[in-house]
Chain A
Amino acid sequence: MNVQNLTKKYDGKAVVDTVSFEIPKGKVTSLIGPNGAGKSTVMGMISRLIAKDAGLINFEDKDISKWKSKELAKRLAILTQHNNIQMKLTVKELVAFGRFPYSGSRLNQEDYDIIDQAIAYMELEEFRDRFIDELSGGQRQRAYIAMAIAQDTEYLLLDEPTNNLDIYHATNMMKTVRRLCDELGKTVVLVLHEINYAAFYSDYICAFLDGKIAKFGTVDEVITKETLSEVYKVDFEIMEIAGKPLTIYY
């Protein structure tokens, strides 16, 4: 996926300003930056949830707005935090919606197999007939990921997947992200607030500041004292744990 001069304006003010980058295939890329830096808006635009004002988004060599929404749904899945959580659907019913772009309302045996595999992959077997509104935040998040797995897309976009999760569930979520990339070969793009998760579990990081890209590169290139201090406007120290950079801010 290749993005050129992407721009979004709200009330005449550019929240995303001529942003260009390319998402590396088969890798985990994290979008980081302070609030209002434009990272979630970029995520919305590259997943066709938000309309862009200017620029080009090429997805598999074709302008994303030229893709049929249903075809795109077979290649790119996006999970946001804005889902109706009151709905009494069972985990199985939710995951089954992942097959909707393929089979609509008429699921075949292959679809059911994929649904079962996705539920097993996220270790949700014991919850398969439970209603999602009765699950904990972490379990519900896993159910949504299982749906995205059933959707069987090459690209998976996650908007703040660790939001509202405690340390245990957030860490497990990040491990899952890593597995989805390493085991299933997916290209994962995340919006993250927690820099250390980004540093530890991503391959590439894109740091946003005031609607522009401050730095895009490998983890080691971006997680530096200078870049992070510039982006977040606080003092940083970088340490190393298990060969990965660990940030401390104060």
Chain B
Amino acid sequence: MTFIRKYTLTIILTVLLVVLSVWSIFIGVIDLDLKSILQGDSEQVWLLLVSRLPRLLAILCTGMGMSVAGLIMQQLCMNKFVSPTTGATISAAKLGILIAFAFMPSSTIWSRALFSFAFALLGTWLFVWFIQRIKFKDTIMVPLIGIMFGNVIGGITSFISYHFEMTQALSSWETGHFSMVLRGRYEIVYLVVPLLILAFLFSNHFNIVGMGKDFSSNLGVNYKAVLFMGLTIAAAITASVVVVVGSISYIGLIIPNIVAMFKGDKIRGTLIDTALFGALFVLVCDMLARVIIAPYELPIALIIGIVGSVLYIMMLMRRLKHGRKAVRLASHGGGGCQ
């Protein structure tokens, strides 16, 4: 009984995710039906394997990856408003892709991912280094600095893309979407899976580092090494998602916060729920994107942007209303990463 109560949320999320995943496979311009797939109708099976299934898997990896990347960043930076979007990770990842495009025209998706990863890591590190230097008195300042920093990187990206006349190529990454996910050009997103397992194995380390530098040293945990590793994992997840589907904001910001409201901050206990909920959120948004103006589809970043910004504002309001004390007390421990 206690087992069921402890894992209620996990079970509900898993069931919902499985049901909606199966349903999502049958949404699209060409009708798929189970009977002909089972009978081995080659055209239907081909459609399933080349387009629908890859798309579903990419969606699941994106949702799980981005929400866990956000969870890790929030823990390590001790700030609930830090995420790949508000921590400049996504914009730096995009800059990396563009640089690969501009200077290595024959680059494969793998080398673009490598560039994207290197830049995402660099950008995130620069941001974290900066907020460590300047100890902010207000928690809200940290994501604001991150957004500004992200916009500066975005400006550089735009400049380069105009200079090399690559704005069209860039626009594909500007608003994330799953319509280009086809067999043979999305598999890199699977990198998210081993990274998630790694994150799970080190979840207690992230928790300890999230408690502060002194706290970690006391327990014999190397603060800097764990911080570096955690940010590397978050940047690698972000890069492998951005290079396949483009930039999708808000997931890493909202999902971990919603799950933490119910289940607390112990990552061992929340990581799986965060990943499942993230996948569910992206899947539902993608289904909406495909249905609203069918047979056309909206970019998923648009739907997530609308739903996400509303949730984000609600989250902010709630923090300001109930969490004023927490926000102010945070200055004791230093607003951002210590």
The bracket for how many chain B residues form the interface is: 20 to 34
Instruction: Say which residue of A48, A86, A90, A93 sits within 8 Å of B217 (CB atoms).
Output: A48
Question: Do residues B219 and A84 form an inter-chain contact, with CB atoms below 8 A?
Answer: no
Question: Given the known A-B contacts A84-B212, A87-B211, are A100 and B326 also in contact in the complex, defined by CB atoms under 8 Å?
Answer: no
Interface locus among A22-30, A72-80, A191-199, A213-221: A72-80
A68 → B minimal CB distance (Å): 7
Which residues of chain B are within 8 angstroms of A98 by Cβ–Cβ distance? Answer: 219
Question: Do residues A86 and B220 form an inter-chain contact, with CB atoms below 8 A?
Answer: no
Question: Given the known A-B contacts A82-B212, A82-B338, A84-B210, are A93 and B266 also in contact in the complex, defined by CB atoms under 8 Å?
Answer: yes
B20 → A minimal CB distance (Å): 29
Closest to A81 in B: B332
Interface string of A143-175 (1 = CB under 8 A from B): 000000001000000000000000000000000
Which residues of chain A are within 8 angstroms of B332 by Cβ–Cβ distance? Answer: 81-82, 85
Interface string of B203-223 (1 = CB under 8 A from A): 110011011111101111110
The distance in angstroms between the C-alpha atoms of A79 and B218, with both chains bound, is 8
The distance in angstroms between the C-alpha atoms of A85 and B334, with both chains bound, is 11
Residue of A80, A82, A104 contacting most chain B CB atoms (<10 Å) = A82
The distance in angstroms between the C-alpha atoms of A62 and B217, with both chains bound, is 19
Question: Do residues B204 and A80 form an inter-chain contact, with CB atoms below 8 A?
Answer: no
Interface string of A45-89 (1 = CB under 8 A from B): 001110000000000000000001111111001111111111111
The distance in angstroms between the C-alpha atoms of A118 and B197, with both chains bound, is 32
B174 contacts partner chain A, Cβ-Cβ < 8 Å: no
Which residues of chain B are within 8 angstroms of A81 by Cβ–Cβ distance? Answer: 332
A101 contacts partner chain B, Cβ-Cβ < 8 Å: yes
Question: Do residues A83 and B265 form an inter-chain contact, with CB atoms below 8 A?
Answer: no
Which residues of chain A are within 8 angstroms of B213 by Cβ–Cβ distance? Answer: 49, 82
Question: Given the known A-B contacts A84-B333, A86-B326, are A100 and B219 also in contact in the complex, defined by CB atoms under 8 Å?
Answer: yes
The distance in angstroms between the C-alpha atoms of A175 and B220, with both chains bound, is 28
Instruction: Say which residue of A71, A78, A87, A104 sits within 8 Å of B210 (CB atoms).
Output: A87
Instruction: List residues 199-250 of chain B with CB under 8 A from any CB of chain A.
Output: 201, 203-204, 207-208, 210-215, 217-222
Which residues of chain B are within 8 angstroms of A71 by Cβ–Cβ distance? Answer: 220
B223 → A minimal CB distance (Å): 10
Interface string of B261-277 (1 = CB under 8 A from A): 00011101000000000
Question: Do residues A89 and B217 form an inter-chain contact, with CB atoms below 8 A?
Answer: no
Question: Do residues B264 and A73 form an inter-chain contact, with CB atoms below 8 A?
Answer: no
Majority secondary structure, A binding face? loop
Task: Count how many chain A residues have C-beta atoms less than 8 Å from C-beta atoms of the other chain.
Answer: 34
Closest to A77 in B: B218
B260 contacts partner chain A, Cβ-Cβ < 8 Å: yes
Instruction: List residues 284-336 of chain B with CB under 8 A from any CB of chain A.
Output: 326, 329-330, 332-334
Which residues of chain B are within 8 angstroms of A112 by Cβ–Cβ distance? Answer: none
The distance in angstroms between the C-alpha atoms of A92 and B50, with both chains bound, is 49
Question: Do residues A88 and B260 form an inter-chain contact, with CB atoms below 8 A?
Answer: yes
B92 contacts partner chain A, Cβ-Cβ < 8 Å: no
Which residues of chain A are within 8 angstroms of B333 by Cβ–Cβ distance? Answer: 82-86
A200 contacts partner chain B, Cβ-Cβ < 8 Å: no
Question: Do residues B204 and A69 form an inter-chain contact, with CB atoms below 8 A?
Answer: no
Question: Do residues B78 and A100 form an inter-chain contact, with CB atoms below 8 A?
Answer: no
Which residues of chain B are within 8 angstroms of A70 by Cβ–Cβ distance? Answer: 220
Question: Given the known A-B contacts A90-B264, A100-B219, are A84 and B211 also in contact in the complex, defined by CB atoms under 8 Å?
Answer: yes
Question: Do residues A49 and B207 form an inter-chain contact, with CB atoms below 8 A?
Answer: no
Question: Do residues A73 and B219 form an inter-chain contact, with CB atoms below 8 A?
Answer: yes
A133 contacts partner chain B, Cβ-Cβ < 8 Å: yes
The distance in angstroms between the C-alpha atoms of A47 and B215, with both chains bound, is 12
A60 → B minimal CB distance (Å): 16
Question: Given the known A-B contacts A68-B220, A97-B208, are A86 and B78 also in contact in the complex, defined by CB atoms under 8 Å?
Answer: yes
- Return the 3 tightest CB-CB contacts between A and B, nearest first: A73-B220, A70-B220, A69-B220
Given A89-B265, A151-B218, 4 other A-B residues pairs in contact with their CB atoms under 8 A: A48-B217, A69-B217, A83-B211, A86-B329
5 inter-chain pairs at a CB distance below 8 angstroms, sorted by A residue, are A48-B217, A86-B80, A88-B264, A100-B204, A131-B264
